């Protein structure tokens, strides 16, 4: 394809770049939905469909990446064979089932071809159709603003406005992909040749979306157990199969976990500002940090050779960083969110700085503040703030409080998840602040955005 078909190299490189960007776009979209709370009722099913689309996109990318059967893709396929074999009890059987015999078998390339061009594309089309159908049924979410409630949708119609925007974005993305395919070389299989286990290089790297799994396997200690006269090795299964299962399982379960923590069973069509859900935002950033640490660990040999560092020292450092960095990221992110909440509260109560310094009869200097527009004030104060669940708040179908440790654990988890938030100002507090002149001379200064007049 690369050299014997006219334009084949360009098309092949466009396809490879598009596959990488497709998985990246799916990740970014999932992050946007997570941080804004767009997965909440009634969109839990659509969130699960999104998790499935993300998983299928990853599998589709890996299947296509493995088809050339070159030295690099063959190394990746051998890596997956090791993951399959590491599954306790059924690993060997699963390997024979997937490969049609002992690795490499004689059927895996033809099977991957059908998976890549027929099976997964069909599943993707079906899930995308279901995803869009639920989007039309539930309507799109929207950020809070004047006139926007949980019971309406404010915006432009799908046709022709959003259709025109989507068409324009399609051509922009396609143009960028053509430029990338024509200017940036990727996956030059002619340099590596066919797969040969004797020629595998330690510097081989997978596509970016599989790098975090390889990184986890590279830095885990050689853990094994001895039960029943058999040695059980966990150094591949836990960081490989177990970590991928944990990621997608946690993503799928999160909407229901959050509902259990908050006790909120209402429908939500207005999005959250990430700062107004500080613990959720901090958890998301911590997860991104852990992902980045594992991904960085996948290139520990490249880092060692390029920067003349000790490989073992890098591995030991990453073993610590993969646990410590997410904790630091969680604490910093939550503190930033709380500080932004505090700034929003001050702005809603006292307005914005005017740049006008006045002197009181007593000789004290202060700055006048401008009242913010009522639309902005609404956006700063409209969000709901959940209260932590009380101990014993769980009730059964008869309304009788449940007893036991689960109820206490739920209350403690709810306090951790919802506690320490900065209370938004009430309408009475805003009215009192305005009544006491905290906004300065409104008639002379005007509203935020007007040019202040020195006096």
Rounded to whole angstroms, the Cα distance separating 137 from 318 reads 46
What integer pLDDT is reported at residue 403 of this predicted model? 63
pLDDT value, residue 315: 96
In the prediction, which pLDDT does 199 show?
Answer: 82
Q: How many of the other CB atoms lie within 10 Å of CB of 314?
A: 21
Alpha carbon separation from 306 to 216, 311, 314, 322, 366 (Å, rounded): 21, 11, 13, 22, 56
pLDDT value of residue 449: 46
**pLDDT tens digits in sequence order for the chain, 455 residues long:** 788 888 899 999 999 999 999 999 999 999 999 999 999 999 999 999 999 999 999 999 999 999 998 999 999 999 999 999 999 989 999 999 998 888 877 789 999 999 999 999 999 999 999 999 999 999 989 998 878 888 888 888 888 888 999 999 999 999 999 999 999 999 898 888 898 888 877 788 899 999 999 999 999 998 888 888 888 889 999 999 999 999 999 999 999 999 999 999 999 999 999 999 999 999 999 999 999 999 999 999 999 999 999 999 999 999 999 999 999 999 999 999 999 999 999 998 888 888 888 888 888 888 788 888 888 888 888 888 888 988 765 666 566 666 667 888 999 999 999 988 888 888 888 888 777 654 444 444 445 544 443 33
**pTM assigned to the model:** 0.89
Comparing CA positions, the residue from 337, 87, 57, 375 lying closest to residue 237 is 87
Q: Which domains does the chain have, with CATH numbers?
A: 8-194+208-272 (1.20.810.10), 349-445 (no CATH)
Q: How far apart are CA 101 and CA 95, in angstroms?
A: 7
DSSP bridge partners of 70: 194
Question: Mapping DSSP to helix (H, G, I), strand (E, B) and coil, where does residue 270 land?
Answer: strand
Question: In this structure, what token pair is assigned to residue 259?
Answer: 């509902």
């Amino acid at each position: 394809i690369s050299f014997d078909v006219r334009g084949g190299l360009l098309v092949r490189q466009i396809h490879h770049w598009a596959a990488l960007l497709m998985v990246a776009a799916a990740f970014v979209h999932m992050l946007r939905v997570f941080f804004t709370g767009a997965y909440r009722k009634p969109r839990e099913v659509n969130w699960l469909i999104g998790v499935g689309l993300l998983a299928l996109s990853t599998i589709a990318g890996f299947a296509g990446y493995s088809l050339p059967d070159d030295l690099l893709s063959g190394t990746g396929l051998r890596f997956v064979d090791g993951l399959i074999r590491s599954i306790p009890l059924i690993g060997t059987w699963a390997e024979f089932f997937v490969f049609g015999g002992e690795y490499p078998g004689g059927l895996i390339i033809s099977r991957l071809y059908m998976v890549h061009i027929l099976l997964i594309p069909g599943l993707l089309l079906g899930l995308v159709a279901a995803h869009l159908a639920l989007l039309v049924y539930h309507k799109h979410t929207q950020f809070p603003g004047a006139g926007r409630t949980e019971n309406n949708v404010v915006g432009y119609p799908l046709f022709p406005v959003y259709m025109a925007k989507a068409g324009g974005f399609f051509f922009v993305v396609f143009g960028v992909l053509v430029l990338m395919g024509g200017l940036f070389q990727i996956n030059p299989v002619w340099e590596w040749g066919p797969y040969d286990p004797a020629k595998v290089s330690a510097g081989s790297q997978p596509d970016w979306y599989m790098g975090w799994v390889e990184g986890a396997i590279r830095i885990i200690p050689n853990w094994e157990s001895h039960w029943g006269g058999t040695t059980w090795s966990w150094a591949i299964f836990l960081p490989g199969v177990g970590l991928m299962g944990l990621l997608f399982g946690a993503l799928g379960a999160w909407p229901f976990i959050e509902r259990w923590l908050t006790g909120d069973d209402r429908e939500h069509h207005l999005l959250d500002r990430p700062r107004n859900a500080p613990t959720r935002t901090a958890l998301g950033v911590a997860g991104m940090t852990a992902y980045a640490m594992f991904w960085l660990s996948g290139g520990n040999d490249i880092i060692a050779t390029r920067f003349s560092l000790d490989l073992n020292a890098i591995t030991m450092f990453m073993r610590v960083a993969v646990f410590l960095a997410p904790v630091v990221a969680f604490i910093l992110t939550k503190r930033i969110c709380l500080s932004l909440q505090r700034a929003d509260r001050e702005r809603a109560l006292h307005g914005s700085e005017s740049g006008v310094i006045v002197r009181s009869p007593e000789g004290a200097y202060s700055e006048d503040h401008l009242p913010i527009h009522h639309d902005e004030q609404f956006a700063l104060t409209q969000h709901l703030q959940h209260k932590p669940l009380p101990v014993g708040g769980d009730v059964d179908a008869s309304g009788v409080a449940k007893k036991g440790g689960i109820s206490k654990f739920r209350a403690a988890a709810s306090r951790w998840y919802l506690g320490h938030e900065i209370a938004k100002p009430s309408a009475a507090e805003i009215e009192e602040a305005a009544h006491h002149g905290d906004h300065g001379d409104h008639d002379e200064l005007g509203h935020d955005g007007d040019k202040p007049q020195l006096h």
